[in-house]
């Protein structure tokens, strides 16, 4: 059957407000029938001005502000910030505090990956898996609550150490929870790799080979599913990862199935790692003295968040507040790959492919103004506000015709 020459492509816009999206983002998919021909991604709908806000808060206050960039990986944001500020202040954190930082980070990884498993299963229509994985996620949330007192924003970090110790009774509670989680993770690993209906939604869908993954700069578990052998915990060890290296997890197929398998296997390595840390917790104080003013200078810190590499740039001018903090979350590196991955796929697979990178839109939005003529340009609040009004005013007018 020949296609009419004047056949037009149809564009399916999704977002920024859409029932399928949990957070605001805009995607436009050009489709020919059911098959996606090209795609574009637009972000920036949930910019919260956090970087600017850090400049008017003290070093201590910023710890809690930055922890709230993400509700899922809050601990790792605080860790990245603490590592950077401690580097600037030339403060050595006691070894027990470093081990506890890694311990909470790995617990957080399990909780994040289980949450992702549920969301991804829900997008594929496998709501039974969604419900059971979220039920089991409560186990790790309860462990975190026992350890730190909170389920979401644990606030385990302070500048110069950690707030909470692990005693024998808590270690026993953690081990008991981990045994249950290990059994369930192995079960889910079997489910995602053997359930024939589920495999139809994941095997050979959204395939990204190693070269393509490196070209689009994909990081974290998404990259490791395409055999991109990058993990900050190994490449640039921090906290307890220098003394106790973690076993990395790689897959080679690069499809959605590999992204499931990598994350579930990472949970198993995290479980083993936490057990090992509990066996080898060094004895030392939890905190060290931290100056209220931080020496002038610049520092970067990189950590492996559940979604990939998290990057912090911190600049101090010697005062009690930072001069500049810049945050780059892993979603920014991964989101561009979606536009490539969906090409040639069915429109029905698009939500799964998008969820496959584990996007976190609101953590990701930053503003950069690039001055091309090399002139320094300062924007005050009034100018920024007027820019927003003009920008969105123009867009609304366009949309309304």
Where on the chain is the footprint of another protein (CB under 8 A)?
57-58, 60-65, 128-129, 132, 135, 138, 145-150, 153, 155, 158, 163-164, 190-191, 194-199
Nearer to another protein, 14 or 156 (CB): 156
Residue nearer to another protein on the CB measure, 71 or 388 = 71
- Partner residues linked to 316 by β-bridges: 297, 322
Q: What is the DSSP string of 126-144?
A: -HHHHHHHHHHHHHHHHHH
> Minimum CB separation from another protein for residue 311, in Å?
23
The H or E element containing residue 202 is helix 196-202
- CB nearer another protein, residue 23 or residue 138: 138
- Compute the distance between CA of residue 367 and CA of residue 384 in angstroms, rounded to an integer: 11
DSSP 34-62: TEEEEEEEE--TT---HHHHHTTS-HHHH
Q: How far is the CB of 104 from another protein (least distance, A)?
A: 13
Q: Which is nearer to another protein, 72 or 290 (CB)?
A: 290
Instruction: Find, among 236, 254, 261, 259, the residue nearest to 246 by Cα.
Output: 236
Strand arrangement of the beta sheet that strand 35-42 belongs to: 10-14, 26-32, 35-42
Q: Shortest approach of another protein to residue 82 CB, angstroms?
A: 13
Closer to another protein by CB, 15 or 84: give it.
84
Pick 190 or 390: Cβ nearer another protein? 190
State the minimum distance, in angstroms, from the CB of residue 252 to another protein: 21
Question: 288-316: string of b/e by CB count within 10 Å (b at 16+)?
Answer: eebeeebeeeebebbbbbbbbbbbbebbb
Comparison of 169 and 368: residue with beta carbon closer to another protein: 169
Shortest distance in whole angstroms from residue 108 CB to another protein: 17
In this structure, the strands spanning 308-316 and 10-14 are unpaired
Token pair belonging to 19: 């029932």
Q: Is the peptide bond before 16 cis (omega within 30 degrees of 0)?
A: yes
Closest to another protein by CB, 34 vs 167, is 167
Q: How far is the CB of 87 from another protein (least distance, A)?
A: 21
Q: What is the token pair recorded at 266?
A: 């990472």
How many Å apart are CA 331 and CA 156, to the nearest integer? 24
CB of 99 to another protein, least distance (A): 18
Q: How far is the CB of 136 from another protein (least distance, A)?
A: 9
Rama region for 274: left / alpha / beta (φ>0; ψ in -120 to 50; rest) = alpha
């Amino acid at each position: 059957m020949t296609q009419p020459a004047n056949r037009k492509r149809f564009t399916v816009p999704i977002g920024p407000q859409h029932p399928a999206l949990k957070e605001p983002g805009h995607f436009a998919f050009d489709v020919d029938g059911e098959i996606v021909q090209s795609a574009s991604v637009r972000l920036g709908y949930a910019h919260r001005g956090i970087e600017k806000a850090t400049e008017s808060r003290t070093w201590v206050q910023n710890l809690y502000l930055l922890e709230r960039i993400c509700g899922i990986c809050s601990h790792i944001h605080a860790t990245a910030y603490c590592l950077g500020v401690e580097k600037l202040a030339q403060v050595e954190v006691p070894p027990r505090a470093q081990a506890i930082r890694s311990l909470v980070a790995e617990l957080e990884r399990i909780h994040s990956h289980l949450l992702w498993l549920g969301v991804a299963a829900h997008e594929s229509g496998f709501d039974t898996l969604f419900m059971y994985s979220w039920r089991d996620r409560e186990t790790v949330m309860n462990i975190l609550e026992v350890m730190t007192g909170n389920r979401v924003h644990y606030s385990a970090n302070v500048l110069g150490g950690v707030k909470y110790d692990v005693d024998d009774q808590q270690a026993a509670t953690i081990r008991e929870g981990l045994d249950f989680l290990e059994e369930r993770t192995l079960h889910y690993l079997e489910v995602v790799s053997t359930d024939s209906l589920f495999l139809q939604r994941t095997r050979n869908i959204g395939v990204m080979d190693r070269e393509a993954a490196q070209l689009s700069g994909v990081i974290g578990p998404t990259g490791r599913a395409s055999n991109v052998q990058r993990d900050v915990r190994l490449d640039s060890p921090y906290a307890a990862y220098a003394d106790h290296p973690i076993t990395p997890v790689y897959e080679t197929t690069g499809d959605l199935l590999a992204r499931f398998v990598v994350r579930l296997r990472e949970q198993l390595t995290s479980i083993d790692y936490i057990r090992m840390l509990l066996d080898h917790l060094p004895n030392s104080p939890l905190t060290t003295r931290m100056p209220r003013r931080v020496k002038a200078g610049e520092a970067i810190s990189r950590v492996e968040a559940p979604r990939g590499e998290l990057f912090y740039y911190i600049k101090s001018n010697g005062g009690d507040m930072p001069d500049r903090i810049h945050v780059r979350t892993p979603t920014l590196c991964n989101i561009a790959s979606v536009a490539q991955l969906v090409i040639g796929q069915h429109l029905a697979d698009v939500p799964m492919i998008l969820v496959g990178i584990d996007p976190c839109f609101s953590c990701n939005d930053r503003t950069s103004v690039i001055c091309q003529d090399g002139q320094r340009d300062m924007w005050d609040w009034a100018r920024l506000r007027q820019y927003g009004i003009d920008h969105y005013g123009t867009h609304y007018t366009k949309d309304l015709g």
